[in-house]
Structure 1
Amino acid sequence: MTELDDIDRRLLRLVEGDATLSAGALGRALGLGQPAAWRRLKRLEEAGVLSGRRVDLDVEALGFGVTVFLGIKLATKGRVSLEDFERAITAIPEVQSVSHVLGLYDYRLRVVARDLADFERILRRRIMTLPGVGQIESNVLLSEERLPGPLG
């Protein structure tokens, strides 16, 4: 585990809020020079605390008004390899995330669709036709709040 001081934690909160901030902007916000802020970022990246930066797309603005969480239980775990299922499910563009989990279901998926009719089409034509798919549970997202991470 990497030891974090207060400045590291503040830096991580800033980057978590806006991953596009430059080392200079981070340094100004932290009362550091640009080189010191850059060195801290580099150290956190090398330690694996920061693993890349990403942009969050607004799926609603892109026309995807429905988000559904699926629980999928494989019917025949022995006959269909997990790798084959994962490869097939990740090839579906509307599937945003795939998590292999313990519990009632084998997988949890986050799926976006334009509307409920579009989701039904994705479910029936793409997901339910995959080999090994057994029981499926759907939960439609009503609202979502972004909560601060453990550093918050």
Structure 2
Amino acid sequence: MLDDHDRRILRQLQAEPTLKAAELAERVGLSPQQAWRRVERMEREGVIRGQEAVIDWETLGFAVRVSLRVTLDKTLPRAFDEFLEAARAVREVTEIQTFLGRVDVRLEVIARDMGHWTQVYRRKIMALPHIADIEALMHVSRIKVQEALPV
């Protein structure tokens, strides 16, 4: 599906997503038109889904990061859907993942400080519907964050 030129393009775009076509082409050994056509093809095929800004939440004053493992009361038919809909509305929830197993959902939550975290937890998280069990894991440090794929 991907040849060496495509992989080089992806490596360059992962490292520096704002590269201009001419710079990208020079780095991967293609003409600007060839490089851009390949980028457009990979976008059409869904290999490249877009570009996004990576925000450093701590720089913006959000010093607390908590991962919540949530088990839902699945005896109610719409428990999953209603929980997810309500969780999406909590502004401090930055990520929602679903799982198979004892834990149904993982929420990534940010807060400015412990006082703010306590307010978010008590007023917003505990108000989410159909929670049977919840476990909070406080982030201490990030050892490795890798968004780039080894292409």
For 1:58, the equivalent position in structure 2 comes to 56
1:95–1:112 Cα contact (<8 Å) kept? yes
**Cα offset for 1:44?**
0.6
For 2:128, the equivalent position in structure 1 comes to 130
Count of residue correspondences? 150
Measured at CA, do residues 146 and 81 of structure 1 come closer, stay the same or move farther in structure 2, by a change above 3 Å? same
User: Structure 1 stretches of 5 or more lacking a match?
Assistant: none
1:143 aligns with one of 137, 141, 144:
141
User: Structure 2 stretches of 5 or more lacking a match?
Assistant: none
Hey, what's the Cα distance between the residues in 2 that align with 1:125 and 1:148? 32
Hey, what's the Cα distance between the residues in 1 that align with 2:114 and 2:132? 21
For 2:41, the equivalent position in structure 1 comes to 43
SS of equivalent residue, structure 1 residue 93: coil
User: Residue 145 of structure 2 aligns to which amino acid in structure 1?
Assistant: R
For 1:77-92, list aligned pairs within 5 A: 77-92=75-90
User: Which digits, 9 at most, give the CA deviation of each residue in 1:1-38, with x for residues without a partner?
Assistant: xx111221121122112222222221121121211111
TM-score, normalised relative to structure 1: 0.90
For 1:112, the equivalent position in structure 2 comes to 110
For 2:65, the equivalent position in structure 1 comes to 67
TM-score, normalised relative to structure 2: 0.91
Measured at CA, do residues 45 and 143 of structure 1 come closer, stay the same or move farther in structure 2, by a change above 3 Å? same
User: Residue 20 of structure 1 aligns to which amino acid in structure 2?
Assistant: T
| RMSD of aligned residue pairs (Cα, Å) | 1.6
1:80–1:132 Cα contact (<8 Å) kept? no
Hey, what's the Cα distance between the residues in 1 that align with 2:150 and 2:67? 26
**Cα offset for 1:126?**
0.2
1:66–1:114 Cα contact (<8 Å) kept? yes
SS of equivalent residue, structure 1 residue 24: helix
User: Which digits, 9 at most, give the CA deviation of each residue in 1:73-109, with x for residues without a partner?
Assistant: 1124425432221111011111011111112211011
Hey, what's the Cα distance between the residues in 2 that align with 1:120 and 1:25? 48
Hey, what's the Cα distance between the residues in 1 that align with 2:75 and 2:38? 45
Moved over 4 A (4+): none
**Cα offset for 1:125?**
0.6
**Cα offset for 1:149?**
4.0
